[in-house]
A = this chain, B = another copy of it.
């Protein structure tokens, strides 16, 4: 049960967001960009206030571990990167109002589709104040109103950033209620948000797995979510040795903690003797712990044995599971059974198998001869991403501005009626 006062507060935010969404949906590109530049300017201008608010949050958060404190902490460089991010969103093309496929039908009417905002987007995230500016900017550019619920440890930081956002919206003549930051630290506020599909059209949870699982379970509206990133690289029999070494090393070692990092390496039996020894040497040099199947350990007996759990593992650490497979089908079956439908790559010079891998691997990003680390909104040209979706419905993979929009049908006639 949600406490009535909290529910009333949430309903009030929801109604205000719904009203603001009408104004934001019809705001011109110029108005939205003016607001974004004004928000960025306010963030720069009020950076001392934001730092002071952040210091209060940090002082109250002495119990947090070092990694969480680091995510919570702001400094002048991080504030500058926040305002720069908002200006980058202003520079993106406005997706709203784009009409596609407008064509005449046999009846004489013209039918096409127009890109439109989703309405009200709810964002639930942890104690990372930069998400407040980021998410607000993307939703605003896509013509949506936003209700933001950040981690309670970042309350003062988020409120200070919200002040900048409201000032910027006001300077562009747009309603301040277009971006609302939930002002209570009551943990039940998340539950209250998730129970109002009439006010919030879609929820984007950004954070750890337990947050995302909770939101998916409780939300009564659609969720754009990202669960695991158990990514694979499959080195085919016809892989080029140099490309295989480069890609398999980069996919694991360029960064360990990201969702598009390779967690399991699959190698065709005919390529193993040629590829694995130099690759294992590179991983060892980088300090990566290897866990292999029996066939892999026959090549390198120093490796520990991989268990079934290793094939399912998202290590987010310098650990790699390695398996030798008999053919492409076995590789695809492994990915289907153990993967998380995030990002998987094949290294091969064989066109037929590249083509099959692209079609048959059912992941949000499927790659040929490229590192899984490329699965990212900036690398894909989206400019910025609100998240990476591992679902298929609506948006899949990196979700940028377009994922925050929908399309309506438009029909233009000249007195046409249906016979």
Contacts and interface: CB of A to CB of B under 8 A. Distances in A.
A254 B394 contact: no
13 contacts: A109-B374, A202-B393, A222-B222, A247-B416, A364-B409, A365-B409, A368-B411, A370-B413, A371-B417, A374-B413, A375-B411, A379-B418, A396-B406
Contact of A367 (B25, B116, B369, B410): B410
Interface in A329-382: 336, 345, 358-360, 362-371, 373-375, 379-381
Contact of A369 (B365, B371, B373, B412): B412
A210 interface: no
A105 interface: yes
Given A396-B407, A408-B396, A369 B418 contact: no
Q: Which residue, of A202, A242, A243, has the highest number of chain B Cβ atoms within 10 A?
A: A243
Could you tell me the dominant secondary structure of chain A's interface residues? mixed
A250 interface: yes
A371 B412 CA distance: 10
B411 A370 contact: yes
A243 B415 contact: yes
A201 interface: yes
A411 B367 contact: yes
A409 B415 contact: no
A416 B358 contact: no
A366 B409 contact: yes
Interface string A111-139: 10010101100000000000000000000
B418 A254 contact: yes
B409 A358 contact: no
Nearest to A21: B362
B254 A362 contact: no
A78 interface: no
Interface in A170-211: 201-202
Contacts of A418: 250, 254, 371, 373-374, 379
A379 B409 contact: no
A252 to B, nearest CB: 11
Contact of A415 (B119, B240, B408): B240
Q: Which residue, of A360, A369, A414, A417, has the highest number of chain B Cβ atoms within 10 A?
A: A417
B408 A397 contact: yes
B380 A105 contact: yes
A97 interface: yes
Q: Which residue, of A201, A375, A408, has the highest number of chain B Cβ atoms within 10 A?
A: A408
A255 to B, nearest CB: 9
A26 interface: yes
A398 interface: yes
